[in-house]
Amino acid sequence: MVTFATTTSALAMEQACKAQGLPGRLIPAPRRITAGCGMCWSAPVESRERLEELIVRLQLDVDGIYRILL
Amino acid sequence: MIYLDNAATTRPKPPGVAQAVVQAMESYGNSGRGVHDDALAAARAIFGVRQRLAHRFGCSRADHVAFTPNATAALNIALSGLLGPEDHVISTDWEHNSVLRPLYRLEEAGMGVDFLPADSQGRLEYDRLESLLRPNTKVMVCTHASNLTGDQIDLTRISAFAKAHGLILILDASQTAGAYSIDMTGMGVDILCFTGHKSMLGPQGTGGLCVREGIFLRPFLVGGTGVQSFSKSQPEEWPTCLEAGTLNGHGIAGLSAALDYLDEAGCGTLERERQLARRFYDQVKDLPGVQIYGDFSTQERAPIVTLNIGDWDSSQISDELAERFDIATRPGAHCAPRLHRALGTTGQGAVRFSWGWANTQEETDRAAEAVRALALEE
């Protein structure tokens, strides 16, 4: 799960992932991650490395990256 | 109706704008409030327009484009977010009340303000800029083009002045955004304030400001943001720091459709409007009793012609134009009190004709003919 401070940052993430063909989707941020509200990017754990590379390369604004065991 | 009041709001809007608004009203949820399909549809559309506006205006970051209901709100956010009693600001006699009243309110709280004067022809006395500087001058705020005369400001000179003295330059692009090519970074503009319903051809209730990265603005409004709900203060991150409350997603969808039109039309629309305004000017300028305001020695001006006939009350002329000739114009003071004072038209006001993308040569000629008829009656 990738969390964001703003909706705009979340949408930038979604757009970048779609453009790169990375799997995932925006979901309501689970409350165990954030006590606030808003959306987060949910993606398979296997894509973490590529996600982190994308975040750095495109200077995407993210709050945090979490591994959630469901 | 021959609509020549496009400087107040453009009418009609291009094909697709109204349909986009209706479609949004029938399908959008609330952007950033929930993550279901309908909310995401709104959020994605708004994000897309943010990116398009950043690109259009030369703003380096899409998240530094904040939406507001109009240019007035954008200017209030910019001015009140930057300035306090300890500061001094320079503005001009050309300004609309959307700049003046926020400045006057700040002045009442102790801030210093000086205005670059306009002469009796409405020309700004640029040579006096330096004399207005004070040690605590922080901001230069000016309109890109006068909503009263259509005269364009010498932005190159203003920008160089602001840069030379480390001032933050706020540009009110109410009369130019959409029609003019604006590159805020290249032009040295730090904050660009725009409205969506004039030459951007979008719905009323849309507008915003583009802010250069690195500038901090105290939030004007605070409230619901859809994020960081347990924080007592407005989030600091852009653009949420400037966007409290539900955005006008429906209007922004219409603005997106207007941008489609503008992208296709390029700069051709402005040139055509300028030609029509010039055509009108050429037909009325020598009529008996007709007094035209503004600088027509240059082609670089907004498509506006403002005039009076003899000592007629401008409201009466505008009413005659509407009732007898079915022509829509704007009389009175145009929310530009300082320039009216400079022109000596405080009592009479003036009649403003302003062209838009849909006006024709035939309409222009009929308007000139109507002015001729009224001038001969005077």
pLDDT one-digit tens code per residue, B49-61 = 999 999 999 999 9
Q: Mutation test of the interface with chain B: which of A4, A7, A63, choosing the one with the most B Cβ atoms within 10 A?
A: A7
Full domain range(s) for residue B281: 2-11+266-377
> Sorting pLDDT into bands at 50, 70 and 90, what band is A38?
confident
Q: Rounded to an integer, what is the distance from CA B321 to the centroid of its chain?
A: 25
CATH number, residue B205: 3.40.640.10
Count structural domains, chain B: 2
Same domain, B145 and B286: no
The dihedral built from the CA positions of residue B336, B341, B343 and B345, taken in this order, carries a sign that is positive
CB within 8 Å: B47 and A15: yes
Q: ipTM of this predicted complex?
A: 0.91
- Supply the pLDDT for residue B360: 98
Same domain, B350 and B362: yes
Same domain, B280 and B179: no
Average pLDDT of chain A is 92
Nearest residue to B68 via CA among B84, B56, B50, B86: B50
| DSSP designation for B5 | B
% of chain B exceeding 70 in pLDDT: 100
| Per-window interface: A 31-70 vs B, CB < 8 A | 35-39, 61
Q: Evaluate whether residue A70 is within a structural domain.
A: no
Same domain, B255 and B347: no
Same domain, B180 and B296: no
How many A×B Cβ pairs under 8 Å? 61
CB within 8 Å: B237 and A37: no
Contacts of B252 (CB under 8 A, 6+ apart): B45, B46, B49, B67, B196, B206
Average pLDDT rounded to a whole number, residues B73-87: 98
Which tokens sit at B330? Answer: 């704007």
- For chain A, say whether B31 makes contact (Cβ under 8 Å): yes
CB within 8 Å: B40 and A26: yes
- Supply the pLDDT for residue A69: 80
Give exposure, B333-352, as e/b (b: 16+ Cβ within 10 Å): bbbbbbbbebbebeebbbbb
Chain B CB contacts of A14 below 8 Å = 44
Task: With a cut of 80, say whether residue A35 has pLDDT above it.
Answer: no
Contacts of B71 (CB under 8 A, 6+ apart): B98, B172, B173, B174, B193, B194, B195, B207
Average pLDDT rounded to a whole number, residues B69-88: 98
Cα distances from B82 to residues B11, B287, B297, in angstroms, run: 34, 47, 37
- Supply the pLDDT for residue A9: 95
Full domain range(s) for residue A36: 2-65
- Supply the pLDDT for residue A36: 62
- Supply the pLDDT for residue B361: 98
Chain A CB contacts of B63 below 8 Å = 6, 8-9, 12, 61
Residue of A nearest to B239 (CA): A8
- Supply the pLDDT for residue B206: 98
Are the CB atoms for B43 and B158 separated by under 8 Å?
A: no
- The 3-state DSSP class for residue B152 equals strand
Task: With a cut of 90, say whether residue B125 has pLDDT above it.
Answer: yes
Task: With a cut of 90, say whether residue B378 has pLDDT above it.
Answer: no
Count structural domains, chain A: 1
Are the CB atoms for A10 and A61 separated by under 8 Å?
A: no
Same domain, B30 and B162: yes
Task: With a cut of 80, say whether residue B337 has pLDDT above it.
Answer: yes
- Supply the pLDDT for residue A70: 67
Same domain, B21 and B123: yes
B143: left (phi over 0), alpha (psi -120 to 50) or beta: beta
Same domain, B232 and B311: no
Q: How many angstroms separate the CA atoms of A19 and B201, rounded? A: 30
* A50 CA: distance to closest CA in chain B (Å): 23
Cα distances from A30 to residues A1, A39, A66, in angstroms, run: 9, 9, 11
- The alpha-helical segments, DSSP class H, found in chain B are 17-27, 37-57, 71-82, 97-108, 155-164, 184-187, 249-265, 268-284, 314-325, 337-343, 361-377
> Sorting pLDDT into bands at 50, 70 and 90, what band is B366?
very high
CATH number, residue B294: 3.90.1150.10
